[in-house]
């Protein structure tokens, strides 16, 4: 269990490692070295997937629409109320899936399907049905596949949730962020506890097997007392998973965040205290802390995988599934396939334009060398499983020396058996494992069970 007292971490470490990101990246250019990725490079990567026809794949679909932009948001999204614009997006999505399915082989087995955004449930019911029809026409979704979708509770209805369940989704994630009225007004996202509870209970009654709630810490007006109230209210609902993300204030690249007064944001040490409240609240209630910021029940497959040292993290999120090839669709969608990291054109119109011209819309990417691949796998293993056996330590390359230095601060332990993240180090795990590194941070926020809407 976690100590009830927040760990004492020097301010310089908090400044160096405490600035986690939240929300979808609009681009990974810069993160992976400003490397444009050509259509021919993308086709070559797809050939690598085609050459392994029996290997299961994961599919991520990015829906880039919201009915309003929340002020804290870092997602790649377009505010629209136009049904026609969404239909045009679905037309282009169908073209993209046609082209990709032709390249890798139609009917490939999908073991993980995630629909993220933006706000996927911004689509109306016929549009949601059409989206799934497009997916199922091009891929074969395994009977036991992990099928998940992100939903804004303010856009969820009984009929919509029943439709999503009927379309095959068994997992749903709702963006809650915070339940304090002052915080909600400051971030432009007002939703009452009663409304969130009604939507949650409706999803439970509908039959969803796994319900995740997203929270964000580091928002304006959050205090230990107010955030604790939100944590207690969320805990009372009994979600299967809770994701607790750090808000990153970056108005220079997200102009709408200028509407948030930086003077009202908690400091780095105050943010750490807020997250510690989350850790203590959920672990005291029997949840297990998995990876960076996910809390799950003890019988959850993610905790079981972490216990066995088998947890993995792809551009969708944490997973115990073997599918490491992620095929991504939609503007800004990030995938990993055939030994390459790839991101689609982030701009909706440019993404559509390229597809309508018969071109695959990859914009940024990186082909991994064998050294890149081994180093990335080692860092991800450490991030997911909180340890790295000695047999893989050499794959860290330059990261090993840096981690040895952090042992002096008590963040890791280095021994003949390998490297282990300490309980104190877990609070700075994202920075500790180098997620600003070009091989790791490329898809750190697209994922999961998660992207908040």
Whether residue 299 is preceded by a cis peptide bond, meaning omega within 30 degrees of 0, is no
Is 72 assigned to a binding site?
Answer: yes
Structure tokens that stand for 202 in this block: 């409706």
- CA–CA dist 56, 111 (Å, integer): 6
Annotated binding residue at 73?
Answer: yes
75 is in an annotated binding site: no
66 is in an annotated binding site: yes
**Binding site annotation covers 309?**
no
Residue 397 among known ligand-binding residues? no
Is 177 known as a binding-site position?
yes
298 known member of a binding site: no
> What are the Cα distances from residue 224, in Å, to 248, 270, 377?
18, 8, 36
State yes or no: 91 annotated in a binding site.
Answer: no
Q: Is 435 known as a binding-site position?
A: no
Q: Is 325 annotated as a binding residue?
A: no
Task: Confirm if 114 and 61 have CB atoms less than 8 A apart.
Answer: yes
Residue 83 annotated as binding site: no
Distance (Å, whole) CA 42 – CA 343: 10
Q: Where are the alpha helices (DSSP H) in 214-329?
A: 224-237, 268-284, 301-307
Q: Are 440 and 379 contacting, i.e. CB atoms less than 8 angstroms apart?
A: yes
Is residue 427 marked as binding? no
Query: Coil, strand or helix: which one is 217?
Result: strand
Q: Is 70 annotated as a binding residue?
A: yes
Would you say 141 is a known binding-site residue?
A: no
Annotated binding-site members for S-adenosyl-L-methionine: 60, 72-74, 117-119, 150, 177, 189, 214, 248, 334
Annotated binding-site members: 60, 66, 70, 72-74, 117-119, 150, 177, 189, 214, 248, 334
Annotated binding-site members for [4Fe-4S] cluster: 66, 70, 73
């Amino acid at each position: 269990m976690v100590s009830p007292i927040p760990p004492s971490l020097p301010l310089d470490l908090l400044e160096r490692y405490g600035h986690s990101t939240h929300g979808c990246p609009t681009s990974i250019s810069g993160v992976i070295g400003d490397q444009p990725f050509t259509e021919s490079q993308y086709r070559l990567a797809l050939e690598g997937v085609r050459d392994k026809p029996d290997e299961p794949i994961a599919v991520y679909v990015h829906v880039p629409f919201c009915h309003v932009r929340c002020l804290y948001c870092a997602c790649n999204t377009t505010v629209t109320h136009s049904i026609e614009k969404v239909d045009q997006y679905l037309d282009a999505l169908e073209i993209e899936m046609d082209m990709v399915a032709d390249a890798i082989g139609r009917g490939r087995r999908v073991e993980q399907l995630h629909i993220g955004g933006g706000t996927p449930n911004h689509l109306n019911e016929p549009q949601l049905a059409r989206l799934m029809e497009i997916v199922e026409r091009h891929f074969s979704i395994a009977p036991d596949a992990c099928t998940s979708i992100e939903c804004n509770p303010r856009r969820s209805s009984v009929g919509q949730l029943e439709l999503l369940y009927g379309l095959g989704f068994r997992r749903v994630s709702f963006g809650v962020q915070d339940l304090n009225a002052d915080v909600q007004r400051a971030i432009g996202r007002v939703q009452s506890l009663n409304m969130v509870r009604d939507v949650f209970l409706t999803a439970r009654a509908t039959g969803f097997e796994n319900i995740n709630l997203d929270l964000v810490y580091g928002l304006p007006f959050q205090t230990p007392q107010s955030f604790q109230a939100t944590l207690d209210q969320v805990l009372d609902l009994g979600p299967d998973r809770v994701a607790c993300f750090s808000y990153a204030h970056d108005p220079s690249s997200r102009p709408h965040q200028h509407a948030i007064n930086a003077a009202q944001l908690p400091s780095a040490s105050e943010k750490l205290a807020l997250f510690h409240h989350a850790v203590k609240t959920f672990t005291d209630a029997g949840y297990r802390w998995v990876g960076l910021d996910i809390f799950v029940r003890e019988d959850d497959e993610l905790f079981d995988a972490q216990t066995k040292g088998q947890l993995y993290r792809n551009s969708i999120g944490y997973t115990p599934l073997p599918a490491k090839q992620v095929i991504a669709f939609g503007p800004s969608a990030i995938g990993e396939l055939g030994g390459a990291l790839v991101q689609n054109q982030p701009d909706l119109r440019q993404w559509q334009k390229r597809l309508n011209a018969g071109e695959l819309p990859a914009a940024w990417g990186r082909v991994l060398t064998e050294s890149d691949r081994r180093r990335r796998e080692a860092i991800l293993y450490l991030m997911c499983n909180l340890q790295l056996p000695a047999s893989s330590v050499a794959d860290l390359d330059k990261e090993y020396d840096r981690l040895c230095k952090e042992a002096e601060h008590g963040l890791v332990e280095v021994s003949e058996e390998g490297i282990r993240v300490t309980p104190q180090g877990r609070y700075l795990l994202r920075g500790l494992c180098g997620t600003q590194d070009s091989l790791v941070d490329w898809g750190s926020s697209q994922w999961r069970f998660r992207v908040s809407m």
